[in-house]
Amino acid sequence: MKHWFWILIAVPSMIHAQGRDSSMVLFDIKRDEIVISNNSNIPRSIASITKIMTAMVALDHDRNLDRRIMIKPGGKLPQGFHTRRDIMRAMLIRSDNRAADALAADFPGGERAFVRAMNLRARRLGMATAQFADASGLNAGNRATAGEVIEMIRASALYPFIVETSVQKQALFDINLRQRVRTIELENTNRPLLFEFDEIVISKTGFTNAAGWCVALMVSKNDHNFIVVVLGAKTKQERLDITKKIVYNQLKDIEVDYQIDMLPWYHRFSRN
């Protein structure tokens, strides 16, 4: 008997034990199917996972990352002009809200036009119920189901900059201030998982009071890609625990199934 039945039953009960209202999903890209899910069709705030859509829309608008644009005070980078590369790195690695705002303001027509483009992109991806209200994810009106976040993460894998940047554990920025160079180091908001798992291909966390603790990942196991989405965890530790159990336990069981599927048929019936 395959492991699929155990996976479908055991994981939702694990999630309910830790956070009754959380949503989660594990999606197998190669087989194009949901492996496990819990509340995956409930629209909810997605916090800074929004910034994956922001990055895609900004890159679709202009792939020139050396062009300098203005960032307002209050963010991780000093007020002033910075390259779009540095602004996008600050947004994806440290989830800088001012960086997201700067990219939206740079869009033709400004932030309102940028948000319209985000919603149009969502519709093209088949995210039927998703809504975006700002570029940073601070607005509780940024909503999607865990299942819809799958489509956003899968689309983002086609952008090499997002893939390369979102999993960097930290980034250094050399900033010229008053004729002196100052180095700023920003750590990834998902450092615990990035240090523990080498298989993470795309990573974005999120948190607001409305959204709870969220994370969206693409994970590679033996050249086989999966998407993990957790929305609405009650605490940062719960988000970490749920994600680790999925990556450690469920992907391991799935990997065993794939290996057995590749055996000649007469070997498949010999396992206990």
pTM for the whole structure: 0.86
Q: What are 179-199's pLDDT values in tens digits?
A: 788 899 999 999 999 998 888
Q: How confident is the model at residue 13 (pLDDT cuts 50, 70, 90)?
A: very low
Q: How confident is the model at residue 18 (pLDDT cuts 50, 70, 90)?
A: very low
Determine the 3-state secondary structure of 6 from DSSP: helix
Distance CA(13)–CA(20), nearest Å, equals 9
The DSSP element (H or E) to which 79 belongs, if any, is none
Residue 214: closest CA among 206, 222, 202: 206
Q: What is the pLDDT of residue 20?
A: 53
Q: What is the pLDDT of residue 16?
A: 39
Distance CA(247)–CA(62), nearest Å, equals 35
More confident residue, 112 or 259: 112
Residue 219: closest CA among 211, 228, 210: 228
Which CATH superfamily does the domain covering 4-268 fall into?
DD-peptidase/beta-lactamase superfamily (3.40.710.10)
Question: Residue range 150-161: average pLDDT?
Answer: 98
**DSSP classification of residue 247:** I
Q: What are 24-56's pLDDT values in tens digits?
A: 999 999 999 999 999 999 999 999 999 999 999
Residue 51: closest CA among 201, 221, 199, 206: 206
Give the DSSP letter string of 9-56: HHHHHHHHHH-TT-EEEEEETTTTEEEEEESTT--EE-GGGHHHHHHH
Q: What are 76-94's pLDDT values in tens digits?
A: 999 999 999 999 999 999 9
Q: Are 157 and 59 in contact (CB under 8 A)?
A: no
In one-letter notation, the amino acid at residue 224 is H
